[in-house]
Amino acid sequence: MTLVRDRKFPAKGSTKARRDDEPPLPTERALLKLEVIHKRQALGRARRDGSLPKTALAALLWLVARLKAFRPMRAWTHYSLQHGPLMSAGIGFNMFFSIFGLLATGFSLAALVLAGNPDLVDQVVHSVAKAAPGLLKVDGSDGLVDPKTLLNPTGIGVTAVIAILVTLFSSLGWITSLRDGLRGVVGVPPLKGNPIIVKVRDIGTLLLLGVLLVLTSAVSVAFTSAVHFLAGLLGIDGAFVAPVGWLIGLLIPLVLNVLTALILFRLAGGLKLSRRALFEGTLLAGIGSSVLQAFSTQLLARAGANPLLAPFAIIIGLLIWFNLVSQVYLVSAAWSAIREADLAAATPKRVESFGSAHHVARPSAALTRANARSQTQHESALHGSSPNASAPVAVPATHDGARQAPGEGRRRASGPFAWLGSLRRRKDEVPTG
């Protein structure tokens, strides 16, 4: 995957050279390490001079250079240079105005599909409430929407039609902004294609996220029921069941967040990253989202601390929450971009010939044998000897002046089928009568 360079980081094939006074970019790992070496040398010179202020300043610059070469700091710097905070704010606003259409559509479909399983419906509601704290009124807590009104079967028809229209015009805008943000941070151009196909793919992404939510909720309900059943069957004390239930409640949301990040990175964002970069980015996004969910109460409790903002505490809390989640995803994308740049820099470039970057043309084996046979016949005619007599074989020269033995132009076979090539060479070397 090729990252887009700006004026400080010319693209491949660009003839523009870097200026020596320009600081290295976060994606330039080798230059950052070289900068650390230079600062270390400057620190050594300052120590030899014996000047305390110069030594302190050189030590500070060396520590700053080491910090800039640290991968988490490189990811954060890359995120900042790519205008990540600004894009996170825009994604958070779009997410806030899109969530209501998503709720109406998702809960309407859940009421239709999961009508005979109230435990699973309740688990889905709690999963959504945990993913967006302050959005739903569950367990007596404050929220903007009562899930019972969305799950009411009497209003499913009208609600579903309105929700689908709202989702198409608002929720898909959130997917678009998220895609542009992810691709902008990674450094690839905007996704181009048929707008209708892109919209259909976005709808499929939302449906896949909904199916993933239902599946993880079903797994959580199944595991919890199995633990309680085994505890009652074996007569295990409740003190053992509580930690197991807590562990299940911790791992299931983590898996859900990681898979959600994978869908958003790969399908919604269309990022074609290496496996390692994609795995690290999605894992970091999943862990970051889980940490935010674990501390959501403490994070959002300060939203209504200001008396002037108390009437709008829930709305402000949701805006803050969506902004934080967007930043987690974009920072994770920046981490993937740094890892991708490191992997690309570590891949050795193949040189076609020693000492030259240009490909050296080699004559084919058939042409080499024909030239050698013609030269032999010519020398035999000059000396009056038989064409079959032994005579020195001329070695053709390549265009760079190097002598080449007959048959060297043929590509040598390697691997488990190398013996086929050797048999062919033996057949070609049989002299003709």
pLDDT along the chain (433 residues), means of 10: 46 46 86 92 90 91 94 94 92 84 73 74 79 74 72 59 64 85 91 83 84 81 76 70 77 89 91 92 93 77 64 78 92 95 78 44 57 65 51 46 46 51 52 48
Q: Which helix (H) or strand (E) holds 177?
A: helix 172-186
Asked whether the beta carbons of 69 and 35 are under 8 A apart, the reply is yes
Say how many C-beta atoms besides its own lie within 10 A of residue 70's C-beta: 12
pTM of the model: 0.70
The residues with which 356 forms a beta bridge, in sequence order, are 353
Q: Tell me, what's the pLDDT at 31?
A: 92
Q: Tell me, what's the pLDDT at 1?
A: 55
Encode 40-67: b = buried (16+ Cβ within 10 Å), e = exposed.
eebbeebeeeeeeeebeebbebbeebbe
- Looking at residue 352, the DSSP 8-state letter turns out to be S
53: number of CA atoms within 13 Å, CB side? Answer: 0
Q: Tell me, what's the pLDDT at 348?
A: 65
Residues 185, 74, 1, 254, CA torsion sign: negative
With DSSP H G I counted as helix, E B as strand and the rest as coil, what are the percentages for the chain, rounded to 5?
70, 0, 30
Residues 6+ apart with CB under 8 A from 433: 388
Q: Tell me, what's the pLDDT at 13?
A: 36
Q: Name the amino acid, one letter, at 98.
A: S
